[in-house]
Chains A and B, each alone.
Chain A
C-alpha cells in the first residue's frame, strides 16, 4: 500500500484549492455554513486529503471531545475509501494516522496565546509540526480583529495553513458584503472563503473568495457529505 494510492481524486480543484496551495504557509481559510450542513465533514475531508499528501494536520476542536473528532475521521475515511476503492483501507488509514493530531480545548478557555503555547510545546518536543491547522468551533462572536490577526501571525510563524469553520445562523441576515455577520471586520484577513449552501434539495459548496471565487460550485452528496 502506497500513499500515492490514497491520494483521493482532489475534491477541491473545482474550488480553486490545491493540495499544495492550501498547505502553503501563513494563510487563513474558512468554511461557512448553517448548523448541520456539513462544515465539520468538509474540513475533515480536506484534512484527510492533506494527510494522504503527507502533510501534518492539527485538528483543534473547541467543542467536541477527542473521541468524537476521531469518529468523524473514521467515518469520513471509510466513505472516501469506499468511493475511491482503496485496497486494504485499514492499513492505509494506519499509515496516514500519524499525520494527524487532535487537540481539544474548552471554548471558554480558548485563546490564541494558549493555542500557540501548545503548538510550540509540540514542535519543541519534536512530536508534531503542523502544516495545516483546523480550528473547529472558533468563537467569532467573542473574539476581536486583533485575535484574528494574531491567529494569522501564528499560522505564518508555524508555516501552516489555518482553516476555520464559521457557523452561521438562519435568523441573522448577512452583512452588506454578502458574508455572514461573524466575519464582519475580519473577512479581509482570509485568503479563501468557502460557503456551503443548500438550494432545492442539493447542497452546493461555493468559493466566495480565493482563486476560483464565484466560478464553479461543487456539490456535496447529502448522504456521505463527500464532494461529488
Chain B
C-alpha cells in the first residue's frame, strides 16, 4: 500500500441537485478504471450510477447517503466522498465536509449558481474546504460558463478564474482549450476516453490569449517567481503557473474554474488532472482535535504515522456482513489487530477487518495511515465518534447538531414490521444525529423526529425498502416550545403532615428568561437556610419541569432559576420534599412570567420563473410568511422568505400545481419565534382536544 501523502487526495463533489454530480462521479470512476461501463442516474438500463447505492436514490434520481470511493489517476490516489444534494440532509453533507481536504463544486452551465449551491458553498466556507469549480452541462442549450464564473464571483464572493475555454458550446461542444498549456483538447472515442491534443483553433486564439492573461494576472498574487517573470517579461513556465494557482486555491483565495460536460464525456480527464494539481494533500490542511483531558483545548494533529492514532468515524452503512464504519485517520495509523478507544464513551475497540471501498465493492487492506479514508467491519459505534490511541483522549471537533423541528408518529402494520422497524430505527438514529426516535409513554406510539417533512419521508420509505417494515404514519407535528418572557418570583412551601413521616421544604427565588441556553440553576442561599445537601435536589426538581411546560405541555427552554432563600424542618425535610417544593415553585412562578409558545421558523427560498413570481409570493403570504425579498436573475427569480414550519406542510405539492411544476424550493431551519396570539389560541384548542380524545 502506498503511503506517500503527496499523492493522496481526499475530495468531495458538492453541487446543487440535478447539476450532474453523480454523472460526473460515474465518469471519473470510469476513466480511472474503477468501473468498466457507464450507467446514468436515471438510466433506462435499470442499473443506475454506481455511487447511488440506495434504491430510493436511484428512483428519485438524487443522492442521499455519501459513499466513499477510492480510485487512482496518474499515480495519485483519490478518495471521493459523494455528498448528498438535498438540503434536508445537510448533516450528512457537513459530516462529509469534515473529512475532505478539497472539493469540486459542480455547477450547471445553464442555471448557474442556485440556492443550493449557496448553502453548499457556505458549508465549505465553514469548514474551510478549498475547492475547484466544474461548470457542467456545457452541451445544454443556453450554456454560458462565463456567466457562471461571474455568478461565482458576485453571489458566492469567490475569486473565480477560468482555466479553460470551451471549443464550441451547446450541441457544438467539441472540447476545451487549456489556458495553462495553451493547447486544445478534444475527446474522441465512444466514451471520450482518447484525448487528442492540438493547437488552439485560430478563431479562439485571441480570446484564449486574453483569458490566459487574466489567469496569469490573478495567479501572480500568490507567487513571487511568477510576478518576477511577468515583470521581466520572460517566459512563464507551466510549473510556475500551476504552483501559484495551487497556493491560491489551498488558501481559498482563488477558485480555478473548469468546464465541460460529464454526460457527453467532455473534459472530465482534465478535471482529474486539476484535482491532482490544485487540490491539497492531507498534509496541506491543518486539522484540529479537542483534548478532552484539557477542557477541550484544541490540539493540532500531525499527519505523522508514528504519532498516537486519531480517527473519525464519519459514516455508517449496513452491509451484508454487519455494520460498516467509514473512517478517516488524521494522525498515526490504524492497523489490523490494534486496540483503540472510542473517546465518546471510553469503550475499547479491537480493529478487525479493514477495507477500502468502491461504492458497494471492497478491497481488504491491513493498515489505514494518517490522511487516508477506509472502512472498518464489526465495530459498534455511532457516526461522529472519534477513535484514539489509549494514551490520549482527543475528540474531533464536536459538530453542531441542530434540534429536530418536526415529528411524526409511526405504527407498524403487522408484527413482522414491528421487529424490523425497531432494527431500522436503531440503524438510522446511529447514522444520522438529526434523526431521533422515542416511544411516547402516554399514547404508546413510536415517534420519529427530524429536520423536515422530506427528511422523515425518506426514512419511512427506507424502512419499507431496506427493512421491509411497512408503517402507518400520523400527521406530522411541529416541535413547539414554551418559554417565559419576563422575570418572576416564587415563594413556595411544600408541606405534608398527614400520617407517616411528614414532608417539608420551602424555596424562594426567581426565574428569568435565558438566552441561547436550555436551563441554568444557581443557588444564592446563605447561612444554611436550606442545608447544602438539599440544594441539588431543588435544581433537579426545577429541571424536571422543563420537559413538559405547564402551559401546553411542550418542552420548556431558556429558563434561569436562581434560588435565594428557603426553609427546612429538622425532621420532615428530605430530598423528595425539596424536589416537590421546586416543582411547585416552578409552576407558581411560570404563570407569572408571561409564558409564550414558540414555533420553528424556516428560511424558505423559492426559485421560480419570473411569470410565477407573484403566485409564489402569494403562497408565502397565505402561510404567515414574511417575504424578505426577491432577486431577479434574468428569466428566473429567487424569493427569500421566513415561514413558520407549521404552515409548510404539503407546500411542495401546492407550489408545483400553482407554477406548472416550474418552481422549486429549499427550506432550512432558521430560528424559534413566538407564535402570534391568535395562532397560539388555536394550538391551545387543538392540544386540549387531543388530550380529551386520549
Residues in chain B near residue A118, CB distance under 8 A: 613, 632
**A109, B632: Cβ atoms under 8 Å?**
yes
Q: Is A201 engaged at the interface, CB distance under 8 Å to the other chain?
A: no
Residues in chain B near residue A59, CB distance under 8 A: 629
Question: Closest approach, in angstroms, between the C-beta of A134 and any C-beta of chain B?
Answer: 12
Q: A94-B673, A109-B634 are in contact. Are A122 and B614 (CB under 8 A)?
A: yes
Residues in chain B near residue A70, CB distance under 8 A: 628-629, 640
Q: A109-B634, A127-B618 are in contact. Are A103 and B629 (CB under 8 A)?
A: yes
B632 contact from A69, A98, A105, Cβ within 8 A: A105
Residues in chain A near residue B614, CB distance under 8 A: 121-122, 124-125, 127
Contact residues of A between 90 and 121, Cβ < 8 Å to B: 91, 94, 97-98, 101-106, 109, 118, 121
Q: Is B227 engaged at the interface, CB distance under 8 Å to the other chain?
A: no
A125 to B633, CA, bound (A): 21
**B627, A65: Cβ atoms under 8 Å?**
no
Residues in chain A near residue B673, CB distance under 8 A: 94
Residues in chain A near residue B632, CB distance under 8 A: 103-106, 109, 118
Q: Is B580 engaged at the interface, CB distance under 8 Å to the other chain?
A: no
Q: Is B630 engaged at the interface, CB distance under 8 Å to the other chain?
A: yes
A124 to B618, CA, bound (A): 11
A121 contact from B155, B613, B634, B638, Cβ within 8 A: B613
A106 to B630, CA, bound (A): 12
Give the residue name and chain of the A residue nearest to B485 (CB).
A88
**A125, B674: Cβ atoms under 8 Å?**
no
Residues in chain A near residue B615, CB distance under 8 A: 125
Question: Closest approach, in angstroms, between the C-beta of A130 and any C-beta of chain B?
Answer: 13
Q: Is A66 engaged at the interface, CB distance under 8 Å to the other chain?
A: yes
Question: Closest approach, in angstroms, between the C-beta of A129 and any C-beta of chain B?
Answer: 13
A159 to B674, CA, bound (A): 35
Contact residues of A between 143 and 172, Cβ < 8 Å to B: none
Q: Is B631 engaged at the interface, CB distance under 8 Å to the other chain?
A: yes
A65 contact from B617, B626, B631, B674, Cβ within 8 A: B631
**A106, B629: Cβ atoms under 8 Å?**
no
Q: Is B6 engaged at the interface, CB distance under 8 Å to the other chain?
A: no
Contact residues of B between 299 and 357, Cβ < 8 Å to A: none
A104 contact from B618, B626, B627, B629, Cβ within 8 A: B629
Q: Is B237 engaged at the interface, CB distance under 8 Å to the other chain?
A: no
**B628, A127: Cβ atoms under 8 Å?**
no
| Interface residue SS majority, chain A | helix
Q: Is B621 engaged at the interface, CB distance under 8 Å to the other chain?
A: yes
Q: How many residues of B contact A (CB 8 A)?
A: 20
Question: Closest approach, in angstroms, between the C-beta of A117 and any C-beta of chain B?
Answer: 9
A182 to B617, CA, bound (A): 36
Residues in chain B near residue A124, CB distance under 8 A: 614
**B631, A104: Cβ atoms under 8 Å?**
yes
**B628, A66: Cβ atoms under 8 Å?**
yes
Give the residue name and chain of the B residue nearest to A106 (CB).
B632
Q: A67-B640, A91-B674, A121-B613 are in contact. Are A102 and B618 (CB under 8 A)?
A: no
B630 contact from A66, A91, A109, A125, Cβ within 8 A: A66
Question: Closest approach, in angstroms, between the C-beta of B282 and any C-beta of chain A?
Answer: 34
A159 to B634, CA, bound (A): 28
Residues in chain A near residue B627, CB distance under 8 A: 101, 127-128
A118 to B614, CA, bound (A): 9
Give the residue name and chain of the B residue nearest to A127 (CB).
B617
**A125, B618: Cβ atoms under 8 Å?**
yes
Contact residues of B between 587 and 640, Cβ < 8 Å to A: 613-615, 617-618, 621, 626-634, 638, 640
Q: Contact flags (1/0) for A66-88 with B, using CB distance below 8 Å?
A: 11011000000000000000000
Give the residue name and chain of the B residue nearest to A91 (CB).
B674
Contact residues of B between 632 and 669, Cβ < 8 Å to A: 632-634, 638, 640
A137 to B618, CA, bound (A): 28
Give the residue name and chain of the B residue nearest to A88 (CB).
B485
Give the residue name and chain of the A residue nearest to B641 (CB).
A66
**B621, A127: Cβ atoms under 8 Å?**
yes
Residues in chain B near residue A106, CB distance under 8 A: 632-634
A97 contact from B617, B626, B630, B638, Cβ within 8 A: B626
Question: Closest approach, in angstroms, between the C-beta of A143 and any C-beta of chain B?
Answer: 17
A180 to B591, CA, bound (A): 62
Question: Closest approach, in angstroms, between the C-beta of A124 and any C-beta of chain B?
Answer: 7
Residues in chain B near residue A127, CB distance under 8 A: 614, 617-618, 621, 627
Give the residue name and chain of the A residue nearest to B621 (CB).
A127
Residues in chain B near residue A109, CB distance under 8 A: 632, 634
A94 to B674, CA, bound (A): 10
A127 to B621, CA, bound (A): 8
Give the residue name and chain of the A residue nearest to B676 (CB).
A94
Question: Closest approach, in angstroms, between the C-beta of A225 and any C-beta of chain B?
Answer: 21
A165 to B618, CA, bound (A): 30
**A102, B626: Cβ atoms under 8 Å?**
no
Give the residue name and chain of the B residue nearest to A62 (CB).
B632
Give the residue name and chain of the B residue nearest to A61 (CB).
B629
Give the residue name and chain of the B residue nearest to A58 (CB).
B629
B628 contact from A102, A122, A125, Cβ within 8 A: A102
Question: Closest approach, in angstroms, between the C-beta of A100 and any C-beta of chain B?
Answer: 8
A206 to B613, CA, bound (A): 40
Residues in chain B near residue A98, CB distance under 8 A: 626
Question: Closest approach, in angstroms, between the C-beta of A163 and any C-beta of chain B?
Answer: 17
A70 to B626, CA, bound (A): 12
Question: Closest approach, in angstroms, between the C-beta of A99 and any C-beta of chain B?
Answer: 10
Give the residue name and chain of the B residue nearest to A94 (CB).
B673
A118 to B632, CA, bound (A): 10
Residues in chain A near residue B155, CB distance under 8 A: 65
A97 to B642, CA, bound (A): 11
Question: Closest approach, in angstroms, between the C-beta of B255 and any C-beta of chain A?
Answer: 18
B629 contact from A91, A102, A121, A125, Cβ within 8 A: A102
Residues in chain A near residue B674, CB distance under 8 A: 91
Give the residue name and chain of the B residue nearest to A120 (CB).
B614
Residues in chain B near residue A128, CB distance under 8 A: 627
Question: Closest approach, in angstroms, between the C-beta of A137 and any C-beta of chain B?
Answer: 13
Question: Closest approach, in angstroms, between the C-beta of A63 and any C-beta of chain B?
Answer: 9
**Would you list the 6 A-B pairs with minimal beta carbon distance, nearest first?**
A102-B629, A66-B629, A105-B632, A125-B614, A104-B631, A121-B614
Offer 11 A-B interface pairs, CB within 8 angstroms, sorted by A: A70-B628, A91-B674, A97-B626, A101-B627, A102-B629, A103-B630, A104-B629, A109-B632, A118-B613, A122-B617, A128-B627
